[in-house]
Amino acid sequence: MNAAGDAFDPLAPTNEVQHAQLGELRRSCPISQTPGGTWYLARHADVVAASRDVDRIESAFLAPDDADIDTQFLPFISEPEHGKVRRVINAAIATHRLSRIDAPLRSLCNELLGGLLDAGEGDIGEHYIAPIPAAGIGYLLGLPDDHQPRFIEWAHGLFGGSVLGDAESARRSRHAMREISAYLDAEIASRAESDDPPDDFITRLVNTEVAGIRLSPIACRTQLIFLLVAGTETTRNLLANAMLRLATAPDLYQRLRREPEAIGPFIEESLRVDPPLTYLLRQCKVPVQIGGVDFDQGTDVAFGLAAANRDEAVFEHPDDFDVDRSNVRSHLAFGDGPHVCPGAALARLEARIAIEVLLDRVATITLSESFRYQKTPVPFTNGPVSVPVRITRT
């Protein structure tokens, strides 16, 4: 281990993830200090161990001790409170309920793709995939169809303001936050007061009690808003990366059309090779050892998801996109440990539906000549801003 004296900074904003340099770092200096002082973990095993050590390594954006946990987003709540809130959310988001979103989301995907098919070309990022993640969460929550467009707009406003520093994004985010808060408060209150509330996620969140813990209406609203913030841009980037891959790998595209059983592994391999979040920021709450290195209390640590996902100790030929690898689900795109993404099953389902509809109706997909790779502006996110394609009907 040595303080990285070289020029490479794994946390510096770049237009593309620097996989070659991350690989170099993983092999030569897997626990390194960035010029900004944060320590970067590049190995799969270190990221897994540190992710599970939540009593000693916490989110770098943790709420102060006296903060009201009702108004804190889930990742920023300390243990043991985090575990209690998380159990209620896990119980309410149980995977077997997700099948309900299949039909409405499939029908939305067909409608969106129909427009693009008529045109024959366009940005598949904007015209097909952008509305899918927020719509999926809207269907999960149980919102009626005519509320969906506003909900999708709020989701985009909220995320932009929470990560882009400019004044216009911040204004849109405040506006979205006011509107969605009022909307969700009314939805929560109506379910809490009803003798026969609809059987949906909001009702379950309001009524679920785990080990004597029930979320207050404000805590329900806070966590519902966070689902949107956490689940929209991430899933959008998963889909944008997957679309870019398919538009540049015609043999793979035709294989997925012939072998639907390869779609699941394709989604996992896409998450591994192109993770929508490239790193997570944490802080050591007490002195702690990670991968044989001692860290003082207060040290900032980054979990290098993009580097860990290509760790040759876990994945053979890690730079190859290989849907047939035996451990295709061993990636860390959804994190690990007690904070592991509770929306992973929903994200996987949304991706599967969007890809199945595409494969069903599109015979060929190719990138337009106008394509220039431009990564989303948020430093820790990873996906192309646009994916202009030409498509032909089946």
Tell me which residues touch ligand HEM (CB under 6 A).
59, 74-75, 86, 137, 226-227, 230-231, 234-235, 238, 276-277, 280, 333-335, 339, 341-343, 346-347
CB atoms within 10 A of CB 29: 18
230 contacts 76 by C-beta, under 8 angstroms = no
State the minimum distance, in angstroms, from the CB of residue 65 to ligand HEM: 18
Taking the complex as a whole, how short is the minimal distance between the CB of residue 136 and ligand HEM, in angstroms?
7
Between residues 129 and 357, which has the closer beta carbon with respect to ligand HEM?
A: 129
268 vs 348: CA distance, rounded Å: 9
Give whichever of 78 and 235 is closer to ligand HEM, judged by the CB atom. 235
Shortest spacing between CB 238 and ligand HEM, in angstroms:
4
Closer residue to ligand HEM, CB minimum distance, 142 or 276: 276
H-type helices in the chain, by residue range?
19-28, 44-52, 81-92, 102-119, 124, 132-141, 148-163, 167-193, 201-207, 217-248, 250-258, 263-273, 305-308, 344-361
The nearer residue to ligand HEM, 4 or 227, going by C-beta atoms, is 227
Shortest spacing between CB 273 and ligand HEM, in angstroms: 13
Q: Closer to ligand HEM at the Cβ: 18 or 237?
A: 237
CB of 139 to ligand HEM, least distance (A): 11
How many helices (DSSP H) and strands (DSSP E) are in the chain? 14, 10
Least separation in angstroms between CB 382 and ligand HEM: 9
Measure the CA angle with vertex 383, ends 232 and 389; round to 5°. 105
**What burial class does residue 194 get, using C-beta atoms within 10 Å of its C-beta: 0-12 exposed, 13-18 middle, 19+ buried?**
exposed
Which residue's Cβ lies closest to ligand HEM? 343
Burial class (CB in 10 A: 0-12, 13-18, 19+), 265: middle
Tokens of 324: 């047939």
Q: Which is nearer to ligand HEM, 286 or 340 (CB)?
A: 340
The CB-of-121 to ligand HEM minimum distance in angstroms stands at 26
CB of 310 to ligand HEM, least distance (A): 16
Nearer to ligand HEM by Cβ, of 29 and 234: the residue is: 234
Nearer to ligand HEM, 56 or 361 (CB): 56
Indicate the Cα dihedral angle 237, 35, 18, 266, nearest 10°. -40
**Which residues are within 8 A (CB) of 70 and not within 5 positions of it... i.e. 6 or more apart?**
216, 218, 219, 222
Rounded to 5 degrees, φ, ψ at 323 are -70, -10
